[in-house]
Amino acid sequence: GQNIDQPTEMTATEGAIVQINCTYQTSGFNGLFWYQQHAGEAPTFLSYNVLDGLEEKGRFSSFLSRSKGYSYLLLKELQMKDSASYLCAVRTASGGSYIPTFGRGTSLIVHP
Amino acid sequence: DGGITQSPKYLFRKEGQNVTLSCEQNLNHDAMYWYRQDPGQGLRLIYYSQIVNDFQKGDIAEGYSVSREKKESFPLTVTSAQKNPTAFYLCASSEGTDYSGNTIYFGEGSWLTVV
C-alpha cells in the first residue's frame, strides 16, 4: 500500500512565499505530481518530478527527494487566486501499469 | 477544443436507483479513469481502463460498474449496491498507463446526491 501525507490546511499572505510539503511511503515509486483544485472544480496539472531536484515553472516550483520520500511545492508571489487545494499524487509501477494515488490535499488560504 | 466532457454536472438519485455518469474525451487518449472525491478526502480510484474493451478495478470498485466499448467513452454506473454514493465524481484520461511521465487530465466533475 501507499501512505501519502500532506498538511490539511495552510494560510499565507498575498505576495508572500509558501511551501507545501508531501511525504510518502511506497514501493515501486515512479514519479510525483502536484495538482491545483479550486472548490467544486476539476484538478489541474501543475508539475511532475521523477528525479531528485527542483523543477521550476514560473511562480511554482516543485522539489523531490526520493531517498527521503519527500516533496514540496513552492508558490512565490502569492495571489488571491492561489487560494485552492493542492494535491500531491504518487505514481507507482504495478503489473506494467502506472497509476497515481492521491493524498488528501492541502487547503491553502491566501489573505490580503 | 480538445478535452474531457462529463455529464450531467449535477445529478440526484433516489434510494435503490442505478444512475450512469457520462465521460467523453476527444484527446485520443488510450487510458481513462474514474475517481471519487469526498469532502476532506483525496481522490480515490474507482476503475480504470487502459484500452477499449478492458478495464480494471481500483481501490473502491464495489457498487460501481463501467464499460469501455469506444475509445472516447468510459461511462460509470453507480448501482444501488453502493451504500454511500453522494460524492463528487471525476473522470480523467491519459495517453496510456504503461509508461511513466504520463500526465492525467481531468474532466469538470459530476456531483451526485442521494435524496
What HEC string does A10-46 produce? EEEECCCCEEEEEEEECCCEEEEEEEEECCCCCCEEE
Angstrom distance (rounded) from CA A72 to CA A64: 7
In whole numbers, what is the pLDDT of chain B averaged over residues?
90
Chain A contact set for B47 (CB, 8 A): none
Nearest to B108 among A41, A87, A101 (CB): A41
DSSP for A53-96, written as a single string: EEEEETTEEEEEETTTTEEEEEE-S--GGG-EEEEEEEEEEETT
* Interface membership of A30 toward B (CB under 8 Å): yes
Which of B:61-80 have CB within 8 Å of A? Answer: none
A37-66 tens-digit pLDDT: 998 888 999 999 989 999 998 999 999 999
Q: What is the pLDDT of residue B44?
A: 93
pLDDT interval class at B101 (50, 70, 90): low
B26-38 tens-digit pLDDT: 999 999 999 999 9
Q: And the C-alpha cell for A108? A: 491553502
Chain B contact set for A45 (CB, 8 A): 103-105
Chain B contact set for A100 (CB, 8 A): 104
Q: And the C-alpha cell for A94? A: 504495478
User: At A111, which helix (H) or strand (E)?
Assistant: strand A106-111
**Residue A1 reports pLDDT greater than 70:** no
Angstrom distance (rounded) from CA A69 to CA A79: 29
Q: What is the pLDDT of residue A53?
A: 96
Percent over 90 (pLDDT), chain B: 70
**Residue B15 reports pLDDT greater than 80:** yes
Q: And the C-alpha cell for B24? A: 467523453
